[in-house]
Structure 1
Amino acid sequence: MASRNFYIQLILRVIFMTLTALGLAFSVVEGWYFTSGFCLLLLLAQVYGLITFINSTNRKIAYFFDAIKNEDFTLRFPEGVTIKSFKELNQSLNRVNGLIQEVHLQLQIREQYYQEILKQASIGIMTYNEKGHILFANPTLEKLLDYTPLNHIKQLMQVDENLYHVFKNFKPFERKLFQLANEREQTQLALKSTPLTLDGQSLLLVVVQDIHKELDEKETESWVRLIRVLTHEIMNTITPIASISDSIIKYYRNNGKITPLEELEESQIRNTLKGLEVIKEQGGDLMDFVQSYRSLLHVPDPNKSIVKGKDLLEKIEVLMSARLHEGTPEFKVQCHPETLEFFIDEKQISQVLINLAKNALQSVGDIEEGRVIMVAGTDTNGNKYIDVMDNGPGITPEVMDEIFVPFFTTKSEGTGIGLSLSKRVMQLHGGTIQVRSVPNQDTVFRLTFA
């Protein structure tokens, strides 16, 4: 905001320089060498003064930005100058300097606040660059690893060599479990990485959590569920056996004495045979139940090979189509991209998909326009997956926590180990099986492969 005073001073300086230049030229023509020298020095002084006068604004702005860069907020520009434009400029610079200083203080307060949150967090947090230099590690992480201070991931070799290799080879968005053992205890660590970019530098943020307690709770909860189901199934089998056995014993023992053969009636013998047949049948059911349990425990290690996703889904489609008739639910498969490949045991995964597809078709059997869709693809993290989706009645929240428990079933038929076997197969493949359900809208079982 230049004022009239600034322009007047500028015009006057130019006029004086012009007059001095004319005087210099005239002195040279007339041969007045002393005067010529004086005019030349005066002209140079005037040029220097003009340049200084014009550049004073640039110097102030340069000083201002240098001070901001160095976080020096003590710089103040004089506001009592005679030139109005310079006065307004100085006031503006001082005002901006104050605002920046206030923002800087607020950022420092927030940074201290966030630093304190990270220090007090119940999970370990570490940030390191591509060269392995650790930029930040909170006290929780140092306590988990029992090592301080942490400056480079190579120091982790002194904690556990395998842990160092985990951090060294960590990929963005990767999740890993690591069991850290020392002389006193064993700690189960869950690690998750997230990429960051700070000041053009690629960093990796790793969150480390001790899940030993959670695993113990989950393990206990799983045992309780399994024992509850096992008790229910065994009692259903044993109760009629005990009841029938007691009835048969009463035929052959009276008041603590064995009943003589001549006192036995033909109906008692027939009932005895019928009872023994029921006992045999119940015993056979119990043997089948135990055999199902053994099959769950003895799933063979997968014999993996590269399988084209499109071919795998088309085989499942052919098998399921043979079960469908006119008017039955729709069954479709999709593979995106069509060149998608899986490194799996084809037989085991096919059995899992067949089991999920059968369950889905049964759930939409009585629904108008029922449909089951099987989709293979890649998620945002680059993991390959296969979804089995249906628009059936869905799974209620009460049942959701039980569906993967061995022998749990809501059907009148079946052993209730299909989903348990499916989960075991996915574990052996290093993957997961998850379910999401909105009752009466859609249900999705997702197989995710590492």
Structure 2
Amino acid sequence: MTLRSKFILTATLLYAAMGFLAWQLLQYDKWLFIACEALILLSLVLTAKLYTAFVRPLNLMAAGIESIKDRDFSIKFLDTGQPEVDQLIAVYNQMMDELREERVVQTEKHFLLERLIEASPSGIILLDTHDRVAGVNPAAVTLLQASGKEVVGKPLTELPNHWGKSLSELPKDAQRVLRPNGIQTYRCRKIRFLDRGYHRYFILLEELTQELLEKERNAYEKLIRMMSHEINNSIGAVNSILQSFSYFSPQLNANTQPDFDEALQVCITRNQNLAGFMANFANVVRIPVPHKQETDLHALLHSIHRLMQPSFERNSVRWEWELTEQMPPVSLDVQQMEQVLINVVKNALEATEPHGWVKVKTNASPPQLLIQDNGKAITPEVQEKLFSPFFSTKANGQGIGLTMVREILMQHGFAFSLETGSDGVTTFQIQF
């Protein structure tokens, strides 16, 4: 029973008792009965006014509670002229003003935070309390190469490509530098925040590729130039002395002259090889700005095929084609791209066992080139170091081939990747 019902019931019982008692007075004194009835009517009027004054605050409180439930902080009440009720209305109106102002501030902060997250060049992955993806910003969508609908609600282990394994192993409240494909470098941090009393995390992905590549390039350029200068100076002087020694060869007896000539030639050849070795390293830092022109990519590929065909036949490896019919011209530097294709095809050939195959494939939309082989797979450990300067898996490798490929393609602005898929096929992809 509500408080209002209790008041009405109490008043009804009280006036019923008073009416009954007044009726009893009618037998004794008629005028006294009339006076009592008048007093009862007067008290009834006063009780009705008291009831109205009593109920109005209750109605205001009920209306205020409903507006708070509906999160409608725009409703305010006018003064009634009753001090007690007006005091309640003043407190309520002040509370609603503060709530409305606080909601506006929180909404503006939330909107600002959303805009900052969307505009951030760093990828941001929001996680729920169970470490499932709760949201991603546009930068994270680009890095993950998957839309928000594809990843929201999934655990970190199910993120596409290499991200699932890398991010699921990321320690909480810690950061780690990842280089999953040997090209891009990322700093990943898993940061905790408080949401409605619960601890949640978000992952911040910052790409460091350009910054690190620039520092790396400056470091090995300085090293190579210094080494090249010192070694070339020494080689020139030593070769000059060795050439002078050859004039003494006729003065030797017949038994020692052949050994002397052979030893001189070995030293001269070794110096020339060393000069060529340093020249290869120096070429990496001397790559000029590409002079681009519209080029028939298929014609360029056929010229590379003619150049490499004897090597393929010698190693019993098949060259396979899968060329699109409507390949548009590509803007590139022909000489530099020839160097890239020769290096990539040569690496694919050396990784392929006899009777294996190397496939050259093109797509028109978007324009891209894929060079695939079914040779030895690239391990995750090697994958991270593929394009690092001076790194090579070959016994006599110098580690400059893929570094040169990386520099040329990055100067062209072409996206590229080299990895082994789940089917065991290794693919070098260039996106024009």
TM-score by length of structure 2 reads 0.42
TM-score by length of structure 1 reads 0.40
Tell me: higher relative CO, structure 1 or 2? Use CA pairs within 8 A at least 6 residues apart: 2
